[in-house]
Amino acid sequence: MSVSTAAVDQAICTPLPVLGRDVTVPLVTGGEVGYAALDYAASAPALQRVWDDVAAYAPYYGSVHRGAGYLSQLSTDLFEKARETVAEFLDCRADDQLIFTRSTTDSLNLLAQALPADCQVFVFETEHHASLLPWKDARVSYLDAPRTPHQAVETLERALAARDPYGPALVCVTGASNVTGELWPVRELAAAAHAHGARIVLDAAQLAPHHPVSVRDLDVDWVAFSGHKLYAPFGSGVLAGRADWLQAADPYLAGGGASRKVSRREDGGVDVEWHDSAARHEAGSPNVIGAYSIASACKALTEAGFDTLVARERHLVDLVRAGLAEVPEVRVLSLFGDDAPRVGVLSFVVDGWNSSHFAAALSAEYGIGVRDGLFCAHPLVRTLLGTAPESQGECGAPEASPGEKSLNAIRVSFGAGTPDEHIERFVAAVRELVTNGARWTYHTENGRCVPAVN
């Protein structure tokens, strides 16, 4: 049975229900307006489906792996089935391990402490700090920002060709930039890594909410992502992939759950036998609601269909890009060029405006929430900006020291729950602010640009 074009168009135009879609916020100019949440890249709103699933489970909450009671057994079963659901969502290999963590940052720090001795790590300067900084105990090579996907692969191949060929090596790369939204050539980078005897970990924090992620198809060794970017609340994350390095490493945290057997020695010390399973790195009482919420989000996105979700997001990206292109004062930041495929994340600067001032005006006068600053990717944003505009507006950026010219950008990000109206209001607000200026006075307070009290 064929699907009509009208049905497809309707699916593309219909956002998934998310929490907060009916929230109104006050405007400094008077009245209230429905809040336009356009900061998905930091934390996406929870899907209504996820919230409903968690609410239905909440009365049955019990200790996991700890009790003989019915609720404990139910919660343990739910926790382990959540692991299976997420592994299926990621298309993991049969012998991969999936560990529940607190976030992408936590996942990559866990992997960093599990690296074999004398491991070499290769990471582009374009990474989010979560994947740029955890490798302090390894030999790290920071690679310059590429200007095309092909250049990214060539840069990595040259670096790997020059490395010590006998020791272990790891490549860390993002799937989609949290600054530009641009998609990276993950499959090609994985092939380059494996050709030179290295492994690769994919930071999928910005990719997994927008595109399907297959560990098998991309041929990555590990993948990490956060629940709070995948429309799931509760501070949870995932590290999934090869088990050998994880099993050989000391537990990420020492404590109950990670240990299989603990006994006293005659000399007064303690002997510990650690688990070889994912439990080895999940010490303490696990965040069962966080794990369940991620699994629920994975099911919801799979059922919605990534073909539809991707088509809808391309529609929203086209709306934003077309609208900003009509404002000459706006410069959209990009590594790979304006035509590079991207997820729903765009960063830009506006001539004559400090980005913090512009973001504050969007919020206070239009009810639009975006992000300003360097987005926890300082080297990348500084590379993309080069120099700051001479005219900086009324407020300084939170990262600027007293007397320094602030260097920051504005980021708009959106996804499966974003209605067209939010994008249209954002584009209209940008045009109006550039043309007419802010209608309110702003100043810096506690490092943030805020509306002055008139």
What does each of the 454 residues of the chain score in pLDDT, given as a tens digit?
444 444 445 556 689 999 999 999 999 999 999 999 999 999 999 999 999 999 999 999 999 997 889 999 999 999 999 999 999 999 999 999 999 999 999 999 999 999 999 999 999 999 999 999 999 889 999 999 999 999 999 999 999 999 988 899 999 999 999 999 999 999 999 999 999 999 999 999 999 999 999 999 999 999 999 999 999 998 999 999 999 999 999 999 999 899 889 999 989 899 999 999 999 999 999 999 999 999 999 999 999 999 999 999 999 999 999 999 999 999 999 999 988 999 999 999 999 999 999 999 999 999 999 999 999 999 999 999 985 444 445 565 555 554 445 679 999 999 999 999 999 999 999 999 999 999 999 999 888 899 998 7
Query: Which amino acid appears at position 206 of this protein?
Result: Q
Which candidate, 293, 227, 283, places its Cα nearest to that of 61?
Answer: 293
CA 1 from centre of chain: 37
SS3 of 327-388: CCCEEECCCCCCCCCECCEEEEEECCCCHHHHHHHHHHHHCEECEEECCCCHHHHHHHHCCC
Which token pair is 94? Answer: 């049969």
Query: Which amino acid appears at position 35 of this protein?
Result: Y
Residue 94, CA distances (Å) to 51, 90, 174 in order: 30, 12, 24
pLDDT at 420: 97
User: DSSP 3-state assignment of 10?
Assistant: helix
* Strands 368-369 and 199-203, bridge-based pairing: unpaired
Residue 164, CA distances (Å) to 132, 141, 154, 167, 336 in order: 21, 12, 18, 6, 30
Query: Which amino acid appears at position 97 of this protein?
Result: Q
376 — alpha (psi -120 to 50), left (phi > 0) or beta?
A: left
Helix 149-161 vs helix 186-195: crossing angle, to nearest 10? 10
Query: Which amino acid appears at position 57 of this protein?
Result: Y
Rounded CA separation 306/40 (Å): 17
Query: Which amino acid appears at position 48 of this protein?
Result: Q
DSSP type of residue 400: P
pLDDT at 2: 46
Which token pair is 144? Answer: 């310059």
Taking the CA atoms of 243, 249, 252 and 255 in sequence, report the sign of the dihedral they define: positive
Angle at 122 between CA 117 and CA 126, to 5 degrees: 140
Instruction: Read off the pTM.
Output: 0.93
Rounded CA separation 429/364 (Å): 11
Rounded CA separation 270/279 (Å): 20
Query: Which amino acid appears at position 159 of this protein?
Result: A
Rounded CA separation 130/105 (Å): 5
Rounded CA separation 171/221 (Å): 10
Rounded CA separation 32/65 (Å): 48
CA dihedral 450, 452, 453, 454 (to 10 degrees): -150
pLDDT at 381: 94
Catalytic status, residue 298: no
- Please identify which of the residues 92, 298, 376, 395 carries the catalytic annotation: 376
pLDDT at 384: 94
pLDDT at 165: 81
